[in-house]
Amino acid sequence: MPQPFHLAIPVIDLAASAAFYGELLGCERGRSDAHWIDWNFFGHQLVTHKVAAMPEEPAPNQVDSHAVPVPHFGVVLDMDDWKALAHRLETAGVAFIVEPYLRFVGQPGEQATMFFRDPNGNALELKAFADPGQLFAT
């Protein structure tokens, strides 16, 4: 089993972050302070740190005919969890950068993916593989 990662991201609004990561995505809240909140982000540690202003975002990269935001972060879920989360986000009216779809169909690394932003503008990608052995396929 892979080791969990730790990621810290900037946010302007901790309350909106708490609603997004805690309520919408279903992440368990950990330690917190007036300026940060730890989250169990699908088995990994995500820390939302309050900042005065969000950093400027670079131009996106083109992947499979889609403008993929840089930077972005996320996790690989199992397919059933990915489908359930995609449905929950669609039902909640989340505005997708790239709507849930299957990319690289019939090629190495075929995957389900979706891109969206948290309320502070941080870009997330959540993906899944029908065959988890394809994660690093070339």
Residues 59, 62, 67: CA angle, nearest 5 degrees: 65
Between β-strands 123-128 and 111-117, what pairing exists: parallel, antiparallel or unpaired? Answer: antiparallel
Instruction: Say which CATH class 6-50+69-134 falls into.
Output: alpha beta
CA 75 to chain centre: 6
Cα distance between residue 43 and residue 54, in whole Å = 26
- pLDDT tens for 34-63 read 999 999 999 999 999 999 999 998 999 999
The pTM of the whole model exceeds 0.75: yes
- pLDDT tens for 55-88 read 998 999 999 899 999 999 999 999 999 999 999 9
Question: Which positions ≥6 away from 16 have C-beta within 8 Å?
Answer: 119, 120
The residue extents of the domains of the chain are: 6-50+69-134
